Structure 1
């Protein structure tokens, strides 16, 4: 779903700063509805419940079906990743989800 931009290994679909840019999918089409595992990596400066609530509030706001799957803490405890199974009904809903996730203060990236 995302394409490596070749410069630093980060996805073009999710950028913390700046406007959203469409991803060149090299002629491939994404068919909706689509279900996939979304991993959100957060800084470890807040309680897990607060971080999870920020993510879930985006899903609820956009009426996205989701299931919490997993939590992992980085080796040094600097970051915590939360994995959710999400189902998106349209490309527009996908873009809105990433736009809303970008507004979460402690979110480093989501993929």
Structure 2
């Protein structure tokens, strides 16, 4: 535990104390994987979104995209509140769905 006076976080980095001591963790996982393929246009793209907590417990929305089977690009957005990250996640999801991209669930 951080035992540094006023900054005591009451969180432990020890394995046996790590379960359930962080209230900043996301309760529900947000992962999305989209593929768009068209053999007539030589198109094989992927797009993925995920929201995961950073080391400091704040939510981070990560976007990854590129051609299937090759290098990828990525961009990360950091937020103070989970609701802001989820709102952007849903906006990006609906934008992709409106274009006709096929959505796959990922574990």
TM > 0.5 fold call = no
TM (normalized to structure 1)? 0.31
Greater Cα radius of gyration, structure 1 or 2: 2
Normalising by structure 2, we get a TM-score of 0.32
Which has the bigger relative contact order, CA under 8 A and spacing at least 6? 1
Relative to total residues, which structure has the larger strand share, 1 or 2?
Answer: 2
